[in-house]
Structure 1
């Protein structure tokens, strides 16, 4: 295995401390070890794309960042929280770290506005006027400012996914995670969701995304991380996808670029 050197994150973010640091992180499910010693950093303002075959560990790594999966060994620091130590305030962590899944998980009996403002009203104690202003702002960010009073069943899959993104943005996270958010969408709807993520990247949002969209990863990500058999196999800028250093990545990208 040949591993490319990590990107100089300090050059991307000045002297700011990383928002995410994996140090020798391992994760097992029973006897199955899925992560086998991950070292990875994410600097403020960086977009990091995790790519790899199914079973490579990329989604597990992402879920560890939000503590949806506790790590088995190593150290993991996220937004100042030490997830390898006992007693971490997970509720506080998840106010700092938003996550969007491939399934939208919207409440069907609530309007778009209600879906977006439910958590801010309960957690941040916003009043009705503040909540409406917040919904208007984040829905405009995802191109759905005119659909606040619609119900999820009245929206396309791409629109529902954009509402899910707006719902995470409404909590004002420091870090956004995206777990294969376009895998259930057709190409046209995939494009509209990727455009929203691209705008967030251009606006400086720190993001980690698991994706199979190689062209998107190459264009938007500051750092692309290819995972293979539970390890970081290669990492670098998007240019590495055009010049793989290992046979495994070369076979993975194949003729898809």
Structure 2
């Protein structure tokens, strides 16, 4: 079976800045890959390339059967296959929770309003916010807003979920709320790639961990690489994080 995500010798530059320097990695169905590394190591850029929010300069990238290094890319189909959640919730403040979730279902997935509402309600149950369907974002805590953002992606019934530092703007209690939702998705077998600074969470949840350093995959393995780093760079990065 082909990997859900496969990057082969991927390079990405922003002007003179060489951000990704030939990274290669693969994620199989049902697998959870955590990408860790210092700020500026290229981890978020790698994740954004997986949703074609950034285009690659060299190398091959295939996500859910879509060849993202070739033109044209069917973005509508890709967006239906891949859900992505950022550290900023990106909710529309003038729309209710329900309206935020049904928007893409109606306009991108072309569901009827009734089917869209049914899908949205199922997703809200998954993230524990069924009672907030008519609330507006400003009436929610940061953790609740992030859970709505996750529900918005889940409602599209994606094959792959991407999470980019989704807890970095939250306090510890709200972080715990969001991580519980992600753990529940893992139990259900969702394929996920997480860029995270939550070392203990990555150790506990991830099938594999990739440590990126200076735009390269520096170390890769199970959670044991956090306990027994092979390189000085990972040893210094982990520090007392576990």
Bin the TM-score by the shorter chain: over 0.9
- Residues 239-254 of structure 1: matches in 2 within 5 Å? 239-254=224-239
Kept in 1, the 8 Å contact 2:44–2:164? The answer is yes
Q: In the alignment, what sits opposite 1:141?
A: 126
Aligned-residue CA RMSD (Å): 0.8
- Residues 41-60 of structure 1: matches in 2 within 5 Å? 41-60=26-45
Q: Deviations over 1:73-110 (max 9, x none)?
A: 01111111111112111221111111000000101111
Q: Say which of 108, 112, 115 aligns to 1:123.
A: 108
Following superposition, the deviation at residue 22 of structure 1 comes to 0.7
Q: Does 1:109 align with 2:94?
A: yes
Structure 1 residue ranges without an equivalent (≥5):
1-15
Task: Name the SS of the counterpart of 2:178 in structure 1.
Answer: helix
CA distance in 2, matches of 1:223, 1:194: 17
Q: Say which of 71, 78, 90 aligns to 2:75.
A: 90
Q: In the alignment, what sits opposite 1:66?
A: 51
CA distance in 2, matches of 1:242, 1:174: 31
Following superposition, the deviation at residue 167 of structure 1 comes to 0.2
Q: Does 1:204 align with 2:189?
A: yes
CA distance in 2, matches of 1:204, 1:196: 13
Q: Alignment length, in residue pairs?
A: 242
Task: Name the SS of the counterpart of 2:132 in structure 1.
Answer: coil
Q: TM-score, normalised by structure 1?
A: 0.93
Kept in 1, the 8 Å contact 2:80–2:109? The answer is no
Q: Say which of 156, 161, 183 aligns to 1:171.
A: 156
Task: Name the SS of the counterpart of 2:194 in structure 1.
Answer: strand
Task: Name the SS of the counterpart of 1:197 in structure 2.
Answer: helix
Structure 2 residue ranges without an equivalent (≥5):
none
Task: Name the SS of the counterpart of 1:208 in structure 2.
Answer: strand
Q: Deviations over 1:92-131 (max 9, x none)?
A: 1111111000000101111111111111011222223222
Task: Name the SS of the counterpart of 1:77 in structure 2.
Answer: strand
Moved more, 77-86 or 228-237: 77-86
Task: Name the SS of the counterpart of 1:69 in structure 2.
Answer: coil
